[in-house]
Amino acid sequence: MKATQVKLSDFSSPPMRAFHLSWVAFFVCFFGWFGIAPLTPLVRDEFHLSKAQLGNIMIASVAITVLARLFIGVLCDRFGPRRVYSGLLALGALPVAGIGLSHGYASFLVARLLIGAIGASFVVTQYHTSAMFASRVVGTANATAAGWGNLGGGVAQMVMPMIVAGFLALGLTTAQSWRLAMVVPALLMVALSIVYLKFTQDGPDGNRGASQEEPRTTLRPGKTGTFLAAARDPRVWALAVIYGACFGVELTIHNVAALYFRDRFHLSLGAAGFVAGLFGALALFARALGGIFGDRAGRRFGLRGRASFLGSMVLAEGVFLTLFSRMGSLPLAIASMVVFGLFVHMAAGATYSVVPFLNRRAVGSVAGIVGAGGNIGAVLAGFLFRGGMATERGFLWLGVAVLAAAGSSLLLRFDASEEVENEPLLSLDRGADKGLSPAE
């Protein structure tokens, strides 16, 4: 039965084992995905990259993830998250390690493009936690797992320059050091691939056979969902726009922050990586807060409460992102980045407190479309930073776009029957898993 509590000290029950391993796997994927980002100044100097080329590399890093997230959502609906995640980790490790073989702009661009596919790990994480937790806590579970996983991006900003420094201390050249540094996340991904396959299961009741058409992890009995069923619902696309405005911004900041602070405020590679890492470090708690408050709004006001809370977070994000773009001193820039980053992560968490309730027969496909929306947002944002426009002006226009996207929350409407179907009585949720007590 599904868990009705996110009990962090529990490592033995199938739901909590899946919860812990899914966020750790996502953390490692995010670490590998953005491991090269804080090392970009070294790559730029070695390959003599122009601003346009750097912009193309940034766009490539998130572009393929759009297709990967759509595709992997369907795979999860068909085969279950356990084998899908394990395979993604193993295959994704190849381009992460392989980027070290690059010796020019073209080969580096291709490697960065292929690495972006591991961003689909987010969909598997959300699918797995959605399958394991009851409706009253699924937003909290989704947001916490995703937030702790996203922390990998912030840790990469801080740790990868240290790994490079360690190789430099051993006498290696700069070119050798950044290449060998990328082997570290690749090895972690391979290890997690084996662990995930061995220690998780697809749903509370067991694993799914490859030949089974009916998944055991669907959120409600009945025929499995399809991509078309999810795509017909305009609310799914509205949520994709919103996710593009929060997660898309998050990806953009991960890609450009270290370079921005190094160039604009003349920080060292390590200092710029540390400052950029502060943004990612917010994922430790901020995304979880978005899911927690989204669940509370849902319990008190229904699905409309979840949608309203989400809209308010995106609106606040847009306001403070705009302010960040106007900061000319380092302390004010860091402070405003942290504030707007708080709302970015909370909005992303609140988004996935809504996702499981749009179509319970097609959770994987809904998660895939919405997740792809996040990357489409990052791709579009990337065009602001590849031309002659100053980076701070690019942030300003990005803030304006986020403010406009906040209006999409008005399209997230639910009728009375959906409220009854998706927000069952708390007493029913408490009985969903007698092995775990409900979280109050």
pTM above 0.85, yes or no: no
Under DSSP, the state recorded for 438 is P
Q: 93 phi and psi, to 5 degrees?
A: -65, -25
Q: At what angle do helices 40-47 and 269-281 cross, to 10 degrees?
A: 140
- Domains of the chain, start order: 14-206+225-423 (1.20.1250.20)
pLDDT single digits (tens) 362-385: 777 887 788 889 889 999 998 998
Q: 325: pLDDT confidence band, cut at 50, 70 and 90?
A: very high
**Tokens at 215, concatenated:** 């998944």
291, 142 in Cβ contact below 8 A? yes
- CA 318 to each of CA 206, 300, 344, 345, 429: distance values in angstroms, whole numbers, following the listed order: 43, 26, 9, 13, 36
Residues whose CB falls within 8 Å of the CB of residue 105, separated by 6 or more in sequence, listed in order: 47, 49, 53
Residue 226 pLDDT more than 60? yes
- Average pLDDT of the chain is 86
pLDDT in tens, 251-292: 899 889 988 999 899 999 889 989 999 998 898 889 889 988
pLDDT per position as a tens digit, 299-311 = 888 888 888 999 9
